[in-house]
Chains A and B, each alone.
Chain A
């Protein structure tokens, strides 16, 4: 059992958890993630580590409600617990002084981009960060990113905050302005990472992306997280999650991540129906779901 010391929404549907996990907190490095399982019947899902505090023995994770497990997770509160948390997994980001690094965070991916940006800054890089979100409410970690960046640019798809547009617009501007860029790190939705990689490929700028394939054990055993890199199978859990963006076959990643869409939808619908039955006031906001305990009771009631 891993105790939730603190839980707080950063944006609608995006929640930060401070979790007691002393072993992981001691070892976490930028670019790594954890796998967690909320309860006995739960699935294992990979989740971003935003930060850690080795002194206090805690890690911060940031979760966006998408399917059942993430929605259920985001219904957990301070004082609750998560059955299993394992990590830190994956290879850490390769941190050194590249010169000028552009760190691009899209949506909840900003949480994983943040520790990498901070580490690059500490290593002496000039860090230019670009944060993109669908709208104003979904811009997360702005003060944190500002603190570790020499310059911070923000875009929203709908223009409700900062500049209207996509992160690639800002990156293109930088390139067109003749800014010398030695490294681009992009973490976010697959389409975003693909667009960034296509843009930098033409300019021959080394680009690192953090991939999020379907994963089960996360420890180099099952092979579920295989991705196609330069025509060869690699495994995101032990060879990644960061890869050279110019070598990633993004269309295979998109296709494989859709493999269980039907099951995922079914899980989510049943979860919604049950949470509504448990707590009639709950709405589809990702914030007002019935508690985990209520939900687990409902599921177990059905099994009996």
Chain B
């Protein structure tokens, strides 16, 4: 992004801007929202947004933009909010980000734009995520999307997977005039945005609207296609005439802990638990046919400390769980989940059992889970990840009574595309090898990005890979040079 040269429209002096407190996000009261699937955050009003926007220091060298995986021109869009040009602000964001209503809700801003905000040296950082969400929602309410168009290039691109990285590639390339078709394995478009992230954090209506906008721009979607099984990458290139393919198939199969009792009824992977709820609407059983175990009055625990873990346990709470635990083997400071989600979860009454790990799941003798046998941990020397390694404390075993345990300790690479595409190299963990700057794979015309390259990460990192891929696909299609 080029730095903006426009003169400041902000009436406050930098000193006065620091005196304006960070505007709080209105939210559903914890005791109410713990029992429904409605969104937790309610969004800024125009007044709150403009008040918050005033706090921006308009740095000459904005570190927020540097720390955004898709490089949003934060300073410029925030200035447009200051003067009340909300649609202009939205258009500015859309230059870099095709899913602002999504990222405004799910990005770990504290590690990115807000983490490097100059304000945070003295006071709280600018609410960049809240402001992004505000303008995206405002634009949606107004229904006045500006649909950019470019003259058709005659080139066709296939995008495999309709999650955040695939949608980014599609959105960027359609604006360059290429024909884009997105193939999705499931029956709904959106990938992790629809099967993984729950309604209370990202309403599915928001995702549908963003996808509707992409359809308006001319992106084609085809559901029920498992690339690698229904059609191969080679067939897309050779038989269906695609000039390039982007692989964004996302995170794969859930990992388990290989401890006794993992196959008991009542032990779920987080992916299955969340898929039943989000994609299949099992919480509306029997109106929807997909069943899930009745959690009313039951004790439920999730094992893990990431966003998926918190999404799972907060869903369990909303489904009537009596006690809802997070079991995490390290301490608070190592938890990878978004800070706001941890804060919200604590408000809702989730019981955090830190420095604790299950060693066995116990049964009633009839195949059903009754408890997790756990040990307490202490932090030892740093491990390969740089985090202090948890070590079991001798004699600390205890049994935690549970009806349901959800395992959210990460995923492995989905092998379907790799195993059916000759010449597509993978690393030793099975993820696709792609260049970090161009997202090119070892196959000509084939690009890849997101979790299928990096392993499980965040929505915005996948979108960043999508941006880089779109740029390099465009270059390839224009020059023909590999």
The residues of A with any CB-CB pair to B shorter than 8 Å are: 23-24, 27, 37, 41-44, 68-69, 83-89, 216-217, 219-224, 226, 228, 232-233, 235, 238, 249, 252, 255-256, 258-260, 263-264, 266-267, 270, 299, 302-303
Q: Are B253 and A223 touching (Cβ within 8 A)?
A: yes
Residues in chain A near residue B262, CB distance under 8 A: 233
Given contacts A219-B186, A220-B414, A226-B263, contact A69 B289 (CB under 8 A): yes
Q: Are B187 and A238 touching (Cβ within 8 A)?
A: no
Residues in chain B near residue A86, CB distance under 8 A: 185-187, 224-226, 230
Q: Are B254 and A27 touching (Cβ within 8 A)?
A: no
Q: Are B280 and A238 touching (Cβ within 8 A)?
A: no
Interface residues of chain A: helix, strand, loop or mixed (majority): mixed
Distance from A12 Cβ to chain B, minimum over Cβ atoms (Å)? 24
Q: How far is the CA of A265 from the CA of B289 in the complex (A)?
A: 12
The 9 residue pairs across chains A and B that have the minimum distance between CB atoms: A263-B291, A255-B367, A223-B269, A223-B254, A43-B289, A86-B224, A224-B272, A43-B290, A222-B272
Q: 21 interchain pairs (CB within 8 A)?
A: A23-B225, A23-B230, A23-B231, A27-B230, A41-B287, A42-B288, A43-B280, A84-B223, A217-B195, A219-B186, A220-B252, A222-B195, A222-B275, A233-B258, A252-B263, A255-B263, A260-B291, A263-B291, A263-B292, A266-B286, A270-B286
Q: Are A223 and B226 touching (Cβ within 8 A)?
A: no
Given contacts A84-B187, A223-B253, A260-B291, contact A216 B415 (CB under 8 A): no
The residues of B with any CB-CB pair to A shorter than 8 Å are: 185-187, 195, 223-226, 229-231, 250-254, 256, 258, 262-263, 265, 269, 271-272, 275-276, 279-281, 285-293, 367, 414-416
Distance from A91 Cβ to chain B, minimum over Cβ atoms (Å)? 9
Residues in chain A near residue B292, CB distance under 8 A: 260, 263
Residues in chain A near residue B279, CB distance under 8 A: 216-217
Residues in chain B near residue A238, CB distance under 8 A: 253, 414-416
Closest B-chain residue to A266, C-beta based? B286
Residues in chain B near residue A44, CB distance under 8 A: 187, 280, 290
Most buried by B among A42, A228, A238: A238
Q: Are B293 and A259 touching (Cβ within 8 A)?
A: yes
Residues in chain B near residue A89, CB distance under 8 A: 226, 229
Distance from B108 Cβ to chain A, minimum over Cβ atoms (Å)? 23
Q: How far is the CA of A204 from the CA of B281 in the complex (A)?
A: 46
Residues in chain B near residue A221, CB distance under 8 A: 185, 195, 250-253, 271, 275, 414
Distance from A256 Cβ to chain B, minimum over Cβ atoms (Å)? 6
Closest A-chain residue to B232, C-beta based? A27
Q: How far is the CA of A217 from the CA of B272 in the complex (A)?
A: 9
Distance from A232 Cβ to chain B, minimum over Cβ atoms (Å)? 8
Q: How far is the CA of A262 from the CA of B76 in the complex (A)?
A: 57
Residues in chain A near residue B225, CB distance under 8 A: 23, 86
Distance from B231 Cβ to chain A, minimum over Cβ atoms (Å)? 6
Given contacts A255-B265, A260-B291, contact A223 B224 (CB under 8 A): no
Closest B-chain residue to A261, C-beta based? B291
Q: How far is the CA of A221 from the CA of B272 in the complex (A)?
A: 8
Q: Are B263 and A256 touching (Cβ within 8 A)?
A: yes
Q: Are A216 and B276 touching (Cβ within 8 A)?
A: yes
Q: Are B271 and A83 touching (Cβ within 8 A)?
A: no
Q: Are A216 and B414 touching (Cβ within 8 A)?
A: no
Q: Are B226 and A219 touching (Cβ within 8 A)?
A: yes
Q: How far is the CA of A297 from the CA of B189 in the complex (A)?
A: 26
Q: How far is the CA of A217 from the CA of B186 in the complex (A)?
A: 7
Distance from B264 Cβ to chain A, minimum over Cβ atoms (Å)? 8
Distance from A241 Cβ to chain B, minimum over Cβ atoms (Å)? 13
Distance from A106 Cβ to chain B, minimum over Cβ atoms (Å)? 24
Residues in chain A near residue B280, CB distance under 8 A: 43-44, 216
Q: How far is the CA of A128 from the CA of B263 in the complex (A)?
A: 36
Most buried by A among B223, B226, B263: B226
Given contacts A42-B289, A86-B185, contact A223 B272 (CB under 8 A): yes
Q: Are A85 and B287 touching (Cβ within 8 A)?
A: no
Residues in chain B near residue A228, CB distance under 8 A: 263
